[in-house]
Amino acid sequence: MVISAGPWSSEKAEMNILEINKKSRPQLVENKQEFRNLQQKFLVTQVAYFLANGQNNYESEDRKDLMKSTLRDERLFMEEELSEQLRQYEVLVFSRERELTRLSVKLREGRDAARSLIRHLQALLTPDEPDESQGWDLREQLAEGCRLAQRLVRKLSPASYEDEDEDVKVEEAEIVEELCAP
C-alpha cells in the first residue's frame, strides 16, 4: 500500500531546506574567509621558504618567475574577495530598490484615495448641487465618504501586520467606524 505524502510534506521539506540554508550561510561565508586567509598564508609561506632555503639553487630568472606568480595569485585572491563583496552589495541594493518601488506604489495609491476622498467631500459641501431628490441623500453621501476614508486607512496601513500592534489597528478601525456611524 502506497501512501502519498501530499503537498504539505514537500512544503515542510522545502521550508526545512530554506531554514538550513539560512542557518548555514553565515558559516559558509566564514569558512570561505578562512580558506582565503589560509591561501594567502600558504602563498606567503611558499615565498618565504623559497627565499630562505632555495636562493642558491635557482637562477635569478626562476626566482623572478616564482615571485611574479605568487604576486599574481595574491592579486587574484584580492580580486575574488572584492568581487564577492560587490555581489553582496548588489543584492542589498536590489532588495532596497524593490522595497522602495513597493512603497512608492503604496504611496501613490494612498494619494489617489486621498484625492478621491477630498473630491467627494468637496462635492458634498458644495452649495450649488441640484435638488436632493435628484441625487444621493446626505446619508448616502456620508456613507460613501466613510467608505473612502476606510479605504484610505487600509491603503496607508503597513502591508505586514506583524510589525504593528494589533490593538492599535483595532482602535483605528473603531475610530473610523464611529465617524461613519449615522
**Ramachandran assignment for 24, one of left (phi > 0), alpha (psi -120 to 50 degrees), beta (any other):** alpha
Q: End-to-end CA distance of the chain, in Å?
A: 64
pLDDT tens digits for 28-83? 888 888 998 988 888 888 887 777 766 655 556 676 777 788 888 888 888 888 88
Global confidence as pTM? 0.37
Residues above pLDDT 90, as percent of the chain: 4
pLDDT tens digits for 15-29? 778 888 888 888 888
